[in-house]
Amino acid sequence: METKPYLIALDLDGTLLKDDKTISDRSLQTIKKARAAGHIVCISTGRPYRSSSLYYRQMNLDTPIVNFNGAFVHHPKDEEWGTYHTTLELDVVQQIIDTAVKHHVHNILAEVKDKVYFHQHDERLLDVFSMGDPEMTVGDLRENLGEDVTSILIHSDEKNVNKIRAYLSDVHAEVVEHRRWAAPWHVIEIIKKGINKAVGLKKIADYYSIPKERIIAFGDEDNDLEMLQYAGQGVAMGNAIDQLKAVADHETKTNEEDGIALYLEKTLSL
């Protein structure tokens, strides 16, 4: 009797990727073995597709992918599969920009699929976002944005992050979800209410008819919370935040210690 396939969902930064942003040989080999044994592997990340496609190709995947924490889900190798793009309404975006400007933040970015809009010029951020060669525009977002956006990023002083998040929770709780990036970046990421990685992963699980109990999801940050709670086996990396470890079913070693490979080898007897 053939074993039933598992769906394995991989977060990238701090999870599959080592700190130098590469996938270890052991992880690559283990993922290859898992796929050879009939299991399904997908990526579920906060990154846009353009800066995750490199890893998609490196693992030789042929599955749909969750980008922008669930705001954009598509199948890179099958246009017929459909594209699920959930955007933030422009009027809400304008209000958030006005508030961010009042708080004298360092910068505000808006992403519309593969276009990136910077409120102000910023070498460090331009560098972070240049991967995959997006179309970049610098200048007042209130003038440059002409359509609903996939996500907004607010780069602020650490002391302002909580103030801005409190405002978002008070004023826009009905329409937005917000997270903070891991140190050293004091960045608040905003997407449409009700959207998270679990929503994207469920679309993929439904497509392959994989029940929750046969989903294994790995993560390390607060944008992985819903995904780990949704998966039958939510696995927190050794380097994960405490909040994630608290909701996870299991914990593995860190992203520097082949945590994913170790867990899959044992669980799937690879």
The answer to whether residues 21 and 63 belong to one domain is yes
Instruction: Evaluate whether residue 1 is within a structural domain.
Output: no
pLDDT of residue 2: 56
- Structural domain that includes position 161: 90-192
Torsion over CA: 229, 231, 237, 239 (sign): negative
CB 237 within 8 A of CB 218: yes
**Position 172 confidence tier, pLDDT thresholds 50, 70, 90:** confident
Q: What is the reported pLDDT for 19?
A: 95
Q: Is residue 2 part of a domain?
A: no
| Span 200-220, average pLDDT | 97
DSSP 3-state assignment of 227? helix
Q: What is the mean pLDDT of residues 116-138?
A: 88
Catalytic residues: 11
pLDDT at 165 exceeding the cut of 90: no
Across the range 14-42, mean pLDDT stands at 97
CATH for 130: 3.30.1240.10
Asked whether 192 and 116 are in contact (CB, 8 A), the reply is no
What pLDDT was estimated at residue 5?
97
Domain boundary among 192, 213, 233: 192
Q: How far apart are CA 1 and CA 4, in angstroms?
A: 9
Cross-sheet strand order for the sheet of 115-118: 135-138, 115-118, 107-112, 151-155, 187-192, 176-180
Mean pLDDT of the chain: 93
Name the range with the highest mean pLDDT among 129-138, 141-150, 184-193, 254-263. 254-263
Instruction: Indicate the residue among 133, 167, 192 that finishes a domain.
Output: 192
pLDDT of residue 1 exceeding 60: no
On the question of a cis peptide bond just before residue 184, with omega within 30 degrees of 0, the verdict is yes
The strand pair at 215-219 and 7-10 is best described as: parallel
**Contact in structure between 5 and 39 (CB atoms under 8 Å):** yes
Percent of the chain clearing pLDDT 90 (strictly above): 78
Q: Is the pLDDT of residue 184 over 80?
A: no
DSSP state of 88: B
Exposure string of 202-240, with b = 16+ CB inside 10 Å and e = fewer, is bbbbeeeebeeebbbbbbbbebbbbbbebbebbbbbebb
